[in-house]
Amino acid sequence: MRGMRIMLADADAEAAQKLKNYIKLASPGAKLFLAPSSAADFLRALGEVSPGLVFADVRYFGVNPSAALRAARSRSPDTRYIVYGTYDDAEYIESVMDFGVIDYMYKPARQADVARAIRRGEEEVARIERERLGEARLSAAYEADLPIMRDRFLANLFEGALRDPDEIARSLEYFGVALAPPCRAAILKADHFRDIAAELPEREKHMVIYQAYGAALESVEKGRGVVRIGNFNKLEILLSGYTLAGAVKLLDGIKLAALRRTGRELTCGIGREYARAADITVSFREASAALGYRVLVGYGATIPIEFVELDNRLTHRYPEEKERSLVAAAVVGEYEYCARIIGQIADVLGGAGGIPENLLPKAAMTIVIAVNRRASEYGLPLDGFKDIFPTAGIFGIKSVEGFKAYLEDSFRGFCGFARGARGVVQAEWSRYMKELRNS
């Protein structure tokens, strides 16, 4: 490696000169610098020179060389060190090996020792440079692909994969999504897309939603909305600061512009507005549900959820993913986790208000059926299942408190049963594997 920057740190001028001559022989193209005679000025010189390699007498750093090199490592993390000293300095040399030291020599250093150390230094400096270039390339590639990461964040946010308010707030800021609450969601979907896909070439098929995307970007005011392509036939839009009437006018305009560009109609569903970022997914679920009413209202329509489901405040807020987690935890016997999830589901139900009378028993029955199915898939014996989850108890649920109490009591019994069954399965597996390995 030509041009490596090497600094010599030795208070003994004669020893430094001898070492300098050895270095020139081993690496003729190296750029040599002498450290200040006082170790107190070493950090300043290190910052000014930024050497790749430092040859240093361990005594140069005084009575605490490890502290000196720790500070030097902090100042210049990529600099590497070759330390040397007498055999009496072995303890000092050993104390600094964790602070960027890659080799050591004992006095008097020989030309062969210096040549070996130079080779180690060149290899290490080259490795660091490769890593630096690799990190720079990775960073540049990441910045270039940041729109992809932003889109994946929005997809997760809209789909409900993100629920923690603090995480959502940090990610919104990181990706530059500066929308003031409250926000509402809208989904525009190309009508009769199966027919479009069958009759159009691939490019023209995808241009339908892409041109609608362009119309949406032109129409939504900066700082008041985010637009993304949900899939080949769907646009997802998050709006901020629009009244329902204002949102309808905006979305009608986007649909009209898309129709003029593509000759294809779009139907639009609109969710309610919410102040909490964690409720963005609820608004998107509502927008999706509103879209489903196009078979009744008509294709090409703009459908607010307030029109088709005025009083439904629960369906699209209900945490179905919690149900799945509850079932998965139950079949492995994790009751404490189950109890926590049951409490979270009950909190959602309790906050919904105006729950239909027969909804709570239906919700409990759905959970019990899912547990039964998963237990069967796991090979758990189902004898006594009806005793653990009595049907009469389900139909007797009249309140959220009753819903919670029934599930807590039933899951307590089932988790105990599942733990015992798991022990049996594990013992059978252990015997099977032992026989297999011994065969």
- Residue-range definition of the domain harbouring residue 343: 320-438
Sign of CA dihedral 390, 391, 392, 394: positive
> What pLDDT score does 75 carry?
86
Examine residue 294 and state whether it is found in any structural domain, yes or no. Answer: yes
pTM beyond cutoff 0.85: no
Q: In the predicted model, what is the mean pLDDT of the chain?
A: 87
The pLDDT of residue 2: 58
CATH code, domain carrying 243:
3.30.70.270
For residue 27, pLDDT over 80 is answered with yes
User: 226 and 111 in one domain?
Assistant: no
The mean pLDDT value for 24-39 works out to 86
Average pLDDT over residues 14-28: 87
Last residue of a domain, one of 123, 143, 163: 143
CB 27 within 8 A of CB 6: yes
| Domain finish residue from 122, 143, 164 | 143
Q: What is the mean pLDDT of residues 206-217?
A: 91
Whether residue 397 is contained in a domain is answered as yes
Query: Which of these three, 276, 308, 340, is where a domain ends?
Result: 308
301 and 155 share one domain: yes
Asked if residues 107 and 14 have their Cβ atoms less than 8 Å apart, the reply is no
Q: What is the pLDDT of residue 353?
A: 67
On whether both 40 and 67 belong to a single domain, the answer is yes
- Does residue 314 sit within a domain? no
421 and 380 within one domain:
yes
What b/e sequence results for 57-78 when a residue is b if at least 16 CB atoms lie within 10 Å of its CB, and e otherwise?
bbbbbeeebbebbeebbeebee
- Are 38 and 67 spatial neighbours (Cβ–Cβ below 8 Å)? no
Is the pLDDT higher at 406 or at 109? Answer: 406
Distance CA 166, CA 382 (A): 42
Structural domain contains residue 218 = yes
Residue 221: pLDDT above 80? yes
Residues 234 and 354 in one domain: no
In a domain, 95, yes or no: yes
Same domain? 339 vs 247? no
| Structure confidence by residue, pLDDT tens digits, 319-364 | 788 889 999 999 889 999 999 999 988 988 887 766 777 888 998 9
Instruction: Tell whether 295 and 185 lie within a shared domain.
Output: yes
Please check whether residue 315 lies inside any domain of the structure.
no
Is 90 exceeded by the pLDDT of residue 181?
Answer: no
Residue 135 sits in the same domain as residue 157: no
Over pLDDT 70: what percentage of the chain? 97
Burial class, 293, CB count within 10 angstroms (exposed 0-12 / middle 13-18 / buried 19+): middle
Rg for the chain, CA atoms, rounded: 35
> Does 104 map to a domain?
yes
Q: Where residue 102 sits, what CATH number does that domain have?
A: 3.40.50.2300
Domain match, 125 and 98 both? yes
Domain count across the chain: 3
Q: Closest Cα partner for 359 from 314, 311, 420, 305?
A: 314
∠ CA 152-157-160 to the nearest 5 degrees? 120
Residue 19 sits in the same domain as residue 130: yes
Residue 419, Cβ neighbours under 10 Å: how many?
13
**pLDDT, tens only, 5-18:** 899 988 888 888 88
Q: What is the structure's pLDDT at 321?
A: 82
108 upstream amide cis, omega within 30 of 0: yes
Structure confidence at residue 434 as a pLDDT band (50, 70, 90): confident
Same domain, 161 and 228: yes
127 and 169 in a single domain? The answer is no
Residue 313 lies in a domain: no
